[in-house]
Amino acid sequence: EDRPSQRDMAAYLTDAYNDGGVVLLEAGTGVGKSFAYLIPALLWARANHERTIVSTNTINLQEQLLGKDLPVVRGLLDTFREPVPKEGRPGVPELKAAQLKGRANYLCFKKWAHAAQTPAPSEPDARVIAKCLLWLQHTETGARAEIGLSRDTAAFIRLSAQGAAGCPAADGPCFLRKARADAAGADVVVINHSLLLSDVVMGGGLLPPHDTLIIDEAQHLEPVATRHLGFQVVESL
């Protein structure tokens, strides 16, 4: 389906990639904005080997980007890639995408192994330890979103990479390190506004080096920035 507003948005973003600077765009429902920025981002990555970070506010949009939109765009662009490089010409590398979350979203195997040996853990901790015992046999990401923890999120965070030290464990995986390595090797990295602002507060280091930042759902950036960059004064009676 031809969408003139989508083509216009992609053209504005292409100009921004070529010329630099800041572009502010408002796209209503039905424009198809994710395709409009993913196609220039991946084409730029292929031509210039420069990474783009996409920051969103909601988990739903992150899952849409990684599970649906990025695979479609990569498939479209791969149709223009030479399946077999001509003699004397290097092959075009496969375009890669990754998701990066905050430390509290990844299980720390070292913490979990220690907790599993602790006698008489609390009921929430025991549930999470048991769930992780089965989950660890097949998970590749160690990310909290993969398991149902509607009432045990706090227990998972206690076992997460948040505040972990002396890592990685010698006898198990480090999911946080793997996620960061995947992001460092990706052309497009999808994050959320909270991690973006945490990187600002830390002065950098949480995100892989990147040349372009796209902030989707930017209308939600201000309250997230207020939480990370501001402070609260509470009057005590």
pLDDT by residue, tens only, the chain of 237 residues: 889 999 999 999 999 999 999 999 998 888 999 999 999 999 999 999 999 999 999 888 998 999 999 999 998 888 766 555 555 555 556 889 999 999 999 999 999 998 988 887 788 888 899 999 989 999 999 998 888 777 788 889 999 998 877 665 556 789 999 999 999 999 999 999 999 999 999 998 899 999 999 999 999 999 999 999 988 898 887
* Predicted model pTM: 0.86
Which amino acid is located at 215 in the chain?
Answer: I
Nearest to 142 by CA among 184, 190, 176: 176
Q: Alpha carbon 131 to chain centroid distance?
A: 24
Quote the pLDDT of residue 86.
Answer: 56
* pLDDT value at residue 41: 95
**In this structure, what token pair is assigned to residue 67?**
């599970």
List, in order, residues 6 or more apart from 58 with CB less than 8 Å away.
217
- Could you count the other beta carbons within 10 Å of the beta carbon of residue 71? 12
pLDDT at 96: 92
Residue 135 is predicted with a pLDDT of 92
The encoded tokens of residue 13 equal: 């973003």
Q: pLDDT value at position 28?
A: 84
| pLDDT number for residue 168 | 57
Buried/exposed 89-123: b ≥16 CB within 10 Å, e otherwise: eeeeeebbbbbbbbbebbbbbbbbbebeeeeebee
